[in-house]
Amino acid sequence: MIDLRLLREDPDRVRASQRARGEDVALVDALLSADERRRSSSVRFDELRAEQKSLGKLIPKATGDEKAELLKRAGELSAAVKAADAEQDAAAEESQRLLLQLGNLVHPDAPIGGEDDFRVLEELGAPRDFAAEGFEPKDHLELGELLGAIDTERGAKVSGSRFYYLTGVGALLELALVNAAMAQATAAGFTPMLTPALVKPRALEGTGFLGQAAEDVYHLDKDDLFLVGTSEVPLAGYHMDEILDAGELPRRYAGFSSCFRREAGSYGKDTRGIFRVHQFDKVEMFVYTTPEDAEAEHQRLLEWEKQWLTSLELPFRVVELASGDLGASATRKFDCEAWIPTQGKYRELTSTSNTTEFQARRLSIRMRETKDGKQRVRPLATLNGTLCAVTRTIVAILENHQQADGSVRVPEVLRPFLGGREILEPVRQARTT
């Protein structure tokens, strides 16, 4: 959540952010009104309580009519104090409810607009010219079936649409990707983590995934637990309700987990293969740092993602998402999109978001620092970045490194994790048409 003081001092900035997100600007004024009611009712409660305490000291000393009058006033005050307390609680609850609906402030450098208004920052690597090489590229599913690596038919038979099996070299390729990604992250100073796949509502709400993204989340009603769509959620919750020493920041974690998404609203999109699925594995980077270093850390996360995709020898571009395409918690977000030959376009493989103090405030994660000889405690900043979303990365590797006979060249960075294998060989004949 944002700082209420900022809302009071500069409401126009918050209104502009809401407008840029395409969200309800009236929410800002409703929140300001609720906050004013909360503060005024709190003052009223304190005044009444002070009068009640003063009256309590006078009553034992009074006699006769004076005492009767004081007792009458004490009864009136008791009722007024209860009413003011209830009003204060109601206003505070309303303020909190509205505050949780408000997205993070959009970064001033973020492009304004919707999904199609992203800004291309750079392109790295050149897509292959398959026509010049003399063959038409196969898509990842056909390649995966030739390699004995992907089985979507049995995935659908057992679990339904958008489920799959990775088999043989497909399973080995996933493990190679995870281990290579973790090796890069560990070398960069990240602490490897295996995180829970089920979390309590507070962890999900604290990271901002129970708002606009709620329809994509699987909920276990009986247990009131949620399946995570990213290990960002348990990594953010790892230090909730804690105070970290500023001298120990940044704290960097690389979490591996299975991720689950309903893919609500994606009917008809990417139905073939394993690009958009309900369950996939992912290596996620997560950082706790000072608010002052958050922007620099965001650039570092982006560089680590670029390093990873470059090591996989994939052509890709870096884009900055527009304001209306940001998640509720992000102030700014960069995506790395790999070229997918059979689709003839770039598709998202990794992303990194700066959530500033937004998640930390919701999860009550603070930092203790010493300044001018005095200690103070304040919210810190959190950031996240996908290093390897495995299924999408497999799609990009198969399509970009395929050869005319249906085999696939293994990027050099993955070979040590595949027993030195340089080529993934077909185990089935290609279909003839």
Is the C-alpha dihedral spanning 358, 360, 361, 363 positive or negative? positive
Give the catalytic positions in this structure: 261, 276, 348, 351, 392
Strand runs labelled E in 138-241: 150-151, 165-166, 191-194, 198-199, 218-220, 225-227
Per-residue pLDDT at 309: 98
Residue recorded with tokens 């090489």: 133
Per-residue pLDDT at 100: 86
pLDDT tens-digit series, residues 129-138? 999 999 999 9
Q: Which residue has the higher pLDDT, 269 or 8?
A: 8
Q: φ and ψ at 405, to 5 degrees?
A: -85, 5
Q: Which residue has the higher pLDDT, 8 or 224?
A: 224
pLDDT tens-digit series, residues 80-131? 777 777 887 888 888 888 888 889 999 999 999 999 999 999 999 999 999 9
Question: What is the spatial distance between Cα 205 and Cα 325, in angstroms, rounded to a whole number?
Answer: 19
Q: Identify the helix (H) or strand (E) that includes residue 108.
A: none
Name the residue type at position 137: P
Q: Mean pLDDT lowest for which of 53-57, 291-295, 338-342, 375-379?
A: 53-57
Query: How distant is the alpha carbon of residue 115 from its chain centre?
Result: 17
Per-residue pLDDT at 430: 59
pLDDT higher than threshold 80 for residue 52: no
pLDDT-based confidence at 75, cuts 50/70/90? low
Q: Average pLDDT, stretch 23-45?
A: 84
Q: Do residues 103 and 328 make contact, with C-beta atoms less than 8 angstroms apart?
A: yes
Mean per-residue pLDDT of the chain: 90
Q: φ and ψ at 133, to 5 degrees?
A: -85, -10
pLDDT-based confidence at 141, cuts 50/70/90? very high
Q: Average pLDDT, stretch 255-270?
A: 84
Q: What tokens appear for 272 in the block?
A: 């073939």
Question: What is the spatial distance between Cα 382 and Cα 367, in angstroms, rounded to a whole number?
Answer: 12
Q: Do residues 209 and 231 make contact, with C-beta atoms less than 8 angstroms apart?
A: no
Percentage of the chain beyond pLDDT 90 is: 71
Q: What secondary structure letter does DSSP report for 402?
A: B
Q: Which domains does the chain have, with CATH numbers?
A: 4-99 (1.10.287.40), 119-424 (3.30.930.10)
Q: Which residue has the higher pLDDT, 254 or 209?
A: 254
Percentage of the chain beyond pLDDT 70 is: 91
Neighbours of 115 (CB within 10 A): 9
Question: What is the spatial distance between Cα 253 and Cα 289, in angstroms, rounded to a whole number?
Answer: 12
Q: What tokens appear for 189 in the block?
A: 């100073």
pLDDT higher than threshold 80 for residue 267: no
DSSP string of 194-218, one letter each residue: E--SEE-HHHHHHHTTTSTTGGG-E
Question: What is the spatial distance between Cα 214 and Cα 156, in angstroms, rounded to a whole number?
Answer: 25
Per-residue pLDDT at 255: 97
Per-residue pLDDT at 109: 94
Could you give the angle at the alpha carbon of 122 between the alpha carbons of 189 and 292, nearest 5°? 45
pLDDT tens-digit series, residues 170-186? 999 999 999 999 999 99
Per-residue pLDDT at 433: 44
Q: Mean pLDDT lowest for which of 93-107, 264-278, 360-374, 390-404?
A: 264-278
Q: Mean pLDDT lowest for which of 29-38, 51-60, 112-121?
A: 51-60
Residue recorded with tokens 């300044």: 371
Per-residue pLDDT at 164: 95
pLDDT-based confidence at 55, cuts 50/70/90? low
